[in-house]
Amino acid sequence: MKIEKLFLRLAIPFLLISIFVMPVTKVPDEATHAFMSWNILFDSPTSRDTEAMNELRAADFTYSEPEIHAVDSTEYSSLFTKIRDFSKDKLSIDFSLKSLMSTPQLIGLVVGKLLYPSYGMMVTIGRLFNTIVYIIGIYYLIKKIKYGKMTLFFVSLLPMMIQQAGSLSYDVVNYLAVVAFFVFYVNLLVDKVLTTRKFINLILLSLLLYLTKANNILLLALLFFVDFEFEGVLSKFNSILKWIQKRRLPILILGFGLVLLVSYLFLHNRGGVVHFVKVMINSLFINNRNDHLNGILTVGIFGYFGWFVTQLPLWLIFIDIFIFTLLLFNDGNLKISKTEGLASLFVLPVQVAIIVAGMYFAWTPTAIGPNAMISQGAQGRYFTPFLVYLFPACLMLKEQVSVSVKQKYLIRLLTGTVVINFIMYLFLIVDYYWV
């Protein structure tokens, strides 16, 4: 069976079950995402914040206390049965390109309101639309990528991604943007040619990366390390391209120097470089100082569920890492250069560092206070999409590391692991919220 068809067979039931088993408002910031989506089309007469959706947004905080376990059946059923008054919400379109991240949820919320204007119905239909976009998008990308199909399949069905894809989170569009560029990148490593059509696709992908999250745009730097050439209308620029490719090292050193200079100037009035280095060390290496490190940041890459209340057991995560490693070394026989492989290897750690650093300035002052010694606000699910970029790095290592598994056994391992992951995810959610 083709990998993309296997993905459909598993993704459809997994995500549909997750939509209904994960209680409404129990996914981090889900009500806030609903609120943000709704405000694209509606507002109240006195505020950009709609009154009806504000009540749902408050549920993010009401239901986020870890000590609250089982869902209160009476309170929860009211989310589905109580009709909400949206009469004060007036149509006021505030759509921008950035709104694309929230468009699937918005459509679902509007359809849900038309069916039955309760929070439960609206959120559930919003989840369904988000799920449809996710399944169709990943199916198409697995079909299009020339190598790395199993890698993309596995990461896309990690429990963390199942939770997010079955919610109102804009992680869906963000993940699709990151892996869409991954597909483009891997196929470019295969073809080594950038046609006019592919260049147009690259422009659209670049826009999508920028519109999702700013750190995603850094993925474009990978193209600097690929030995490709232009074809068609763009072929007249091949001489310039070759000149750049022959001088990668000095250009890289110059670019790195500029980054250091800009970073120094930026940090000069924000605690200084030494303080920032201590913050990053504390945040990424010392769990005693950052109690989010082992849990929300690390386990969260694979599965930290609900309002950070229950997580995959470490023994299962170790199995996931083992199976994932087998996939990385057996998902294609493409030969790539050390330059291309090393560049891919750095994607995950660089993105982790940038996200953690960004949260230090964007979120930590609010959560902890100014001049804190750790960064908080980052979550492991922010890093999950970048796992796929380990695949080209392992292609580079195949000549030095021989890890061979027959295709039919590998697919069985892949399928079995994904199913076990989902069963564990389901068990943990039911045990925490429904028992």
Residue 49's pLDDT band (cuts 50, 70, 90)? low
- Mean pLDDT on 228-250: 92
> pTM of the prediction?
0.92
Residue 67's pLDDT band (cuts 50, 70, 90)? very low
Strands 193-194, 229-230: pairing is parallel
Helix-then-strand count for the chain, H and E = 19, 6
Instruction: Find tokens 């992908």 and name the residue.
Output: 205
pLDDT tens-digit series, residues 111-139: 999 999 898 999 999 999 999 999 999 99
Mean pLDDT, the chain, as a whole number? 90
Residue 33's pLDDT band (cuts 50, 70, 90)? confident
- In whole angstroms, give the CA distance from residue 13 to residue 426: 12
pLDDT for residue 393: 93
Residue 282's pLDDT band (cuts 50, 70, 90)? very high
Residue 37's pLDDT band (cuts 50, 70, 90)? confident
pLDDT for residue 68: 57
pLDDT for residue 334: 87
Helix (H, G, I), strand (E, B) or coil at 229: strand
Residue 373's pLDDT band (cuts 50, 70, 90)? very high
- Mean pLDDT on 15-19: 97
pLDDT tens-digit series, residues 392-403: 999 998 878 888
